[in-house]
């Protein structure tokens, strides 16, 4: 009896602790019937005692994104969705295997993080917008000053012009990022790849100024469905990075080819390469593998972040393969749903 009481007491303590957690916890059987849930689940998910015990969870949440996620198998965590119990709050949800043929649904309130992220976006957008006008004025006056008129100040004026131009580019990239982060979809139109690749090659050759061998290979025989402006920005960012980080005499290959799942746009260089420890963080804004080399080359540290957001809006993904001293390959993978046959009318 003493042992039974200890076990019962431990179970009560465990249930009490789970019931007091700030995260919603729901215990489900193999068919997703609700067996138990804590107080946070009542608040965040809108579950009610005793009527929801034994209920099918996706039916109970039938009008929410959670229901669709559960019906599709809930293989990956569901991030930043409205809480069924509080539509003005946001949650992250995970479904984990538990015990014998049971599952544990965990939902965490991330409303405060969402608010902080929105404050950050608004701050960056507002500051960038306010900086644009004074920087334009400063750059305009610097252009009026001819270094030949004051030879002793020529190095200073040239450096001021270069830094003013770089600051302007940083502001423009920040504004582009702010726009992409708040977009939920793009206005789809035909993106003709043949002229786009030709434009990107001309831009790369102008930036390279003959220091690199640049080739374009296009075998996909397909156009893309998406935003011409945004895809041009993403593709040219990858090429300009390759030019900046490839020593003189190196090779840069731009390819557009078919795959079994769609098509891929890739940029391969023979540059410095990137250590594996840095690959996962390359798309973070202002993240640099080598700060001094990046600044010397004129980079803003925002290009790959822009690429990532553009690809997300096109349901595409970025893959990076690199080895120090061997160069890098940046690949943009598009699904077949984004491909259009050349010469075929655009979809309505």
Q: What is the DSSP string of 196-237?
A: HHHHHHHHHHHHHTTSSEEEEEE----EEEE-HHHHHHHHHH
Question: Tell me: the pLDDT tens digits for 202-226?
Answer: 999 999 999 999 999 999 999 999 9
pTM: 0.68
pLDDT digits (tens, 9 = 90+) for 69-96: 888 888 888 888 888 888 788 999 999 8
What number is the average pLDDT over the span 171-185? Answer: 85
How buried is residue 175: exposed, middle or buried, by Cβ count under 10 Å (0-12/13-18/19+)?
Answer: middle
Higher pLDDT, 288 or 53: 53
Instruction: Say which residues have a Cβ less than 8 Å from residue 103's Cβ, sequence separation at least 6.
Output: 27, 28, 29, 30, 32, 95, 96, 97
Q: What are phi and psi of 31, to 5 degrees?
A: -100, 15
Q: Look at residues 255, 247, 245 and name the one whose alpha carbon lies nearest to residue 200.
A: 255
The SS3 assignment for 340 reads strand
C-alpha dist (Å) from residue 83 to 19, 24, 111, 260: 18, 11, 10, 38
What single DSSP character describes residue 346? Answer: P
Helix (H) or strand (E) holding 20: none
User: To the nearest whole number, what is the mean pLDDT of the chain?
Assistant: 86
Report pLDDT for 348: 47
Q: What pLDDT, in 10s, does the model give residues 6-60? A: 766 666 766 676 667 788 888 888 888 888 888 888 888 888 888 888 888 888 8
Residue 132 near residue 174, CB atoms below 8 Å: no
Helix-helix angle 303-313:228-244, to 10 degrees: 150
């Amino acid at each position: 009896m003493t042992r039974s009481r200890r076990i019962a007491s431990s179970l009560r303590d465990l249930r009490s602790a789970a019931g007091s957690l700030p995260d919603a916890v729901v215990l489900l059987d193999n068919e997703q019937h609700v067996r138990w849930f804590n107080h946070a689940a009542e608040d965040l998910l809108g579950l009610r005692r005793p009527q929801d015990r034994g209920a099918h969870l996706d039916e109970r949440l039938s009008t929410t994104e959670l229901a669709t996620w559960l019906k599709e198998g809930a293989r990956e965590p569901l991030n930043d969705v409205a809480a069924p119990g509080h539509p003005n709050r946001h949650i992250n949800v995970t479904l984990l295997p538990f015990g014998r043929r049971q599952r544990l649904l965990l939902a965490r309130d991330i409303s405060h993080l969402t608010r902080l992220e929105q404050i950050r976006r608004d701050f960056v957008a507002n500051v960038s917008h306010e900086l644009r006008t004074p920087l334009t004025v400063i750059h305009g006056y610097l252009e009026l000053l001819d270094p030949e008129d004051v030879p002793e100040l020529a190095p200073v004026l040239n450096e001021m012009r270069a830094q003013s131009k770089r600051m302007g580019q940083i502001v423009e990239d920040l504004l582009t990022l702010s726009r992409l982060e708040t977009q939920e979809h793009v206005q789809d139109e035909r993106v003709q790849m043949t002229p786009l690749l030709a434009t990107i090659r001309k831009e790369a050759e102008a930036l390279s100024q003959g220091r690199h061998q640049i080739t374009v290979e296009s075998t996909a025989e397909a156009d893309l469905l998406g935003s011409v402006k945004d895809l041009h920005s993403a593709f040219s960012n990858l090429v300009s990075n390759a030019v900046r980080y490839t020593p003189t005499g190196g090779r840069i290959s731009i390819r557009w080819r078919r795959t079994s799942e769609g098509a891929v746009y890739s940029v391969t260089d023979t540059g410095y390469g990137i250590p594996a420890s840095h690959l996962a963080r390359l798309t973070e804004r202002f993240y640099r593998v080598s700060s001094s080399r990046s600044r010397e080359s004129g980079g803003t540290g925002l290009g790959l972040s822009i690429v990532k957001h553009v690809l997300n809006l096109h349901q595409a993904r970025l893959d990076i393969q690199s080895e120090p001293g061997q160069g890098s390959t940046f690949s943009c993978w598009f699904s077949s749903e984004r491909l259009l046959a050349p010469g075929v009318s655009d979809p309505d």
